[in-house]
Amino acid sequence: MRSFPPCKAKGADPNLCVSFADHPEEINVSAIDWTEGAAAIVVMAEMPCSSAFGGISCQVLGFEIEVSSGRILRRMEARESARRWQKGIAWKIHVPDPPEYGSKAVCTGNLGTGMHNPFRVEFLKASRPDSLWRER
Protein backbone atom coordinates (compact mmCIF):
# COMPACT_ATOMS: atom_id res chain seq x y z
CA MET A 1 0.00 0.00 0.00
CA ARG A 2 2.93 2.35 0.60
CA SER A 3 4.26 1.76 -2.91
CA PHE A 4 0.90 2.34 -4.64
CA PRO A 5 -1.46 4.27 -2.31
CA PRO A 6 -4.95 3.60 -3.70
CA CYS A 7 -6.51 6.90 -2.62
CA LYS A 8 -3.85 8.95 -4.43
CA ALA A 9 -4.17 7.18 -7.78
CA LYS A 10 -5.34 9.31 -10.69
CA GLY A 11 -8.96 8.46 -11.52
CA ALA A 12 -9.42 6.03 -8.62
CA ASP A 13 -12.88 5.47 -7.18
CA PRO A 14 -12.66 7.06 -3.69
CA ASN A 15 -15.33 4.73 -2.33
CA LEU A 16 -13.35 1.66 -3.33
CA CYS A 17 -9.96 3.08 -2.40
CA VAL A 18 -10.98 3.68 1.22
CA SER A 19 -12.35 0.15 1.49
CA PHE A 20 -9.22 -1.28 -0.15
CA ALA A 21 -6.88 0.76 2.04
CA ASP A 22 -8.61 -0.80 5.05
CA HIS A 23 -8.11 -4.32 3.60
CA PRO A 24 -4.61 -4.59 2.08
CA GLU A 25 -4.92 -8.38 2.17
CA GLU A 26 -6.98 -8.06 -1.03
CA ILE A 27 -3.83 -7.31 -3.06
CA ASN A 28 -3.07 -10.18 -5.45
CA VAL A 29 -0.01 -12.06 -4.12
CA SER A 30 1.68 -15.15 -5.57
CA ALA A 31 4.65 -17.16 -4.30
CA ILE A 32 7.11 -17.63 -7.17
CA ASP A 33 10.17 -19.53 -5.93
CA TRP A 34 12.39 -20.40 -2.99
CA THR A 35 15.87 -18.88 -2.79
CA GLU A 36 18.81 -19.05 -0.42
CA GLY A 37 18.29 -22.81 0.02
CA ALA A 38 14.63 -22.28 1.06
CA ALA A 39 15.60 -19.62 3.62
CA ALA A 40 13.90 -16.98 1.46
CA ILE A 41 10.90 -16.83 -0.85
CA VAL A 42 10.15 -14.67 -3.89
CA VAL A 43 6.63 -13.28 -4.10
CA MET A 44 4.87 -11.06 -6.62
CA ALA A 45 2.27 -8.52 -5.50
CA GLU A 46 -0.16 -6.95 -7.99
CA MET A 47 -2.79 -4.29 -7.56
CA PRO A 48 -6.07 -5.62 -9.00
CA CYS A 49 -6.58 -4.86 -12.69
CA SER A 50 -9.68 -2.70 -12.45
CA SER A 51 -10.46 0.79 -13.69
CA ALA A 52 -11.68 1.51 -10.15
CA PHE A 53 -7.98 1.68 -9.13
CA GLY A 54 -7.23 4.31 -11.76
CA GLY A 55 -3.55 5.00 -12.28
CA ILE A 56 -2.33 2.11 -10.12
CA SER A 57 -4.39 -0.63 -11.79
CA CYS A 58 -2.26 -3.74 -12.49
CA GLN A 59 0.91 -2.36 -10.85
CA VAL A 60 3.34 -5.14 -9.96
CA LEU A 61 6.19 -5.45 -7.47
CA GLY A 62 8.36 -8.43 -6.62
CA PHE A 63 9.92 -9.14 -3.24
CA GLU A 64 12.48 -11.59 -1.96
CA ILE A 65 11.62 -12.18 1.69
CA GLU A 66 13.62 -13.89 4.42
CA VAL A 67 11.32 -16.59 5.77
CA SER A 68 12.55 -16.63 9.37
CA SER A 69 12.20 -12.88 9.97
CA GLY A 70 9.85 -11.62 7.24
CA ARG A 71 12.52 -9.05 6.31
CA ILE A 72 12.50 -7.86 2.70
CA LEU A 73 15.87 -8.79 1.19
CA ARG A 74 15.16 -7.36 -2.26
CA ARG A 75 12.41 -5.22 -3.79
CA MET A 76 11.96 -5.53 -7.56
CA GLU A 77 10.02 -3.42 -10.03
CA ALA A 78 7.89 -5.33 -12.55
CA ARG A 79 10.53 -5.28 -15.30
CA GLU A 80 13.23 -6.74 -13.03
CA SER A 81 10.77 -9.32 -11.64
CA ALA A 82 9.90 -10.45 -15.16
CA ARG A 83 13.54 -10.62 -16.22
CA ARG A 84 14.63 -12.64 -13.19
CA TRP A 85 11.62 -14.89 -12.53
CA GLN A 86 9.53 -15.28 -15.71
CA LYS A 87 11.13 -18.63 -16.55
CA GLY A 88 9.85 -20.16 -13.31
CA ILE A 89 6.15 -19.32 -13.58
CA ALA A 90 3.30 -20.41 -15.83
CA TRP A 91 1.80 -16.99 -16.61
CA LYS A 92 3.35 -13.97 -18.29
CA ILE A 93 4.34 -11.24 -15.85
CA HIS A 94 2.63 -8.03 -16.94
CA VAL A 95 4.95 -5.01 -16.99
CA PRO A 96 2.56 -2.05 -16.62
CA ASP A 97 3.06 1.58 -17.55
CA PRO A 98 4.29 3.72 -14.63
CA PRO A 99 1.64 4.53 -12.00
CA GLU A 100 -0.28 7.80 -12.34
CA TYR A 101 -1.27 9.95 -9.39
CA GLY A 102 -3.63 12.89 -9.17
CA SER A 103 -4.36 15.57 -6.59
CA LYS A 104 -7.89 14.27 -5.97
CA ALA A 105 -9.65 10.96 -6.29
CA VAL A 106 -12.60 11.04 -8.69
CA CYS A 107 -15.78 9.09 -8.04
CA THR A 108 -16.53 6.85 -11.02
CA GLY A 109 -19.96 5.78 -9.80
CA ASN A 110 -18.82 2.15 -9.90
CA LEU A 111 -20.51 1.23 -6.62
CA GLY A 112 -22.27 -1.96 -7.70
CA THR A 113 -19.43 -3.86 -9.35
CA GLY A 114 -15.99 -5.13 -8.52
CA MET A 115 -14.86 -7.01 -5.45
CA HIS A 116 -16.38 -4.67 -2.90
CA ASN A 117 -19.79 -4.72 -1.32
CA PRO A 118 -21.92 -1.66 -2.23
CA PHE A 119 -23.57 -1.78 1.20
CA ARG A 120 -20.16 -1.53 2.89
CA VAL A 121 -19.31 1.44 0.67
CA GLU A 122 -22.52 3.20 1.71
CA PHE A 123 -21.61 2.56 5.35
CA LEU A 124 -18.13 4.00 4.79
CA LYS A 125 -19.58 7.08 3.10
CA ALA A 126 -21.89 7.67 6.06
CA SER A 127 -19.30 6.99 8.76
CA ARG A 128 -16.22 8.67 7.23
CA PRO A 129 -17.32 11.30 4.71
CA ASP A 130 -14.32 13.55 5.34
CA SER A 131 -11.88 10.78 4.39
CA LEU A 132 -13.57 10.19 1.04
CA TRP A 133 -13.43 13.59 -0.61
CA ARG A 134 -10.59 15.58 0.96
CA GLU A 135 -7.57 16.67 -1.03
CA ARG A 136 -5.17 13.75 -1.46
Domain containing 125 equals 6-133
1 within a domain of the structure (yes/no)? no
Total domains, the chain: 1
Sign of CA dihedral 76, 78, 84, 86: positive
93 within a domain of the structure (yes/no)? yes
Q: What is the mean pLDDT of the chain?
A: 75
128 within a domain of the structure (yes/no)? yes
119: burial class by Cβ within 10 Å (0-12, 13-18, 19+)? exposed
Please list, residue by residue across 31-48, b when 16 or more beta carbons sit within 10 angstroms of its beta carbon and e when fewer do: ebeebeeeebbbbbbbbb
Query: Is residue 110 predicted with pLDDT exceeding 50?
Result: no
| Residue 131 confidence (pLDDT) | 39
pLDDT band of 109, cuts 50, 70, 90:
very low
Please give the average per-residue pLDDT across 52-63, as a whole number: 90
